[in-house]
Amino acid sequence: MARFARQKKLKQQILLNGSKVFKQYGLSIVPTVLFINKEGVIEDAEIGFDGPEPLRKKVEALLRKE
């Protein structure tokens, strides 16, 4: 996964070996994207992957909330 992220020049943080976090938040589906605010609170989540457009829309909506 780390190599893939470097090759694709991904800028978002990617949790590697996140089984502890998955258990902590009761997650079971990969991929899961958590949108965490500055205070560390989960604002939203995207379960699975339907392409970049749904992620972009969620990010834009969350940024408008600030």
Global pTM value: 0.62
> 48 near 54, Cβ under 8 Å?
no
Q: Is residue 4 situated within a structural domain?
A: no
* pLDDT on residue 60: 92
The answer to whether position 24 is within a domain reads: yes
The range of the structural domain enclosing residue 30 comes to 13-65
Q: Which helix (H) or strand (E) holds 34?
A: strand 32-36
Distance CA 29, CA 48 (A): 7
Q: What percent of the chain has pLDDT over 90?
A: 5
pLDDT for 17 equals 67
Q: Is residue 6 part of a domain?
A: no
- Cβ atoms 1, 16 nearer than 8 A: yes
Structure tokens at 50: 């339907």
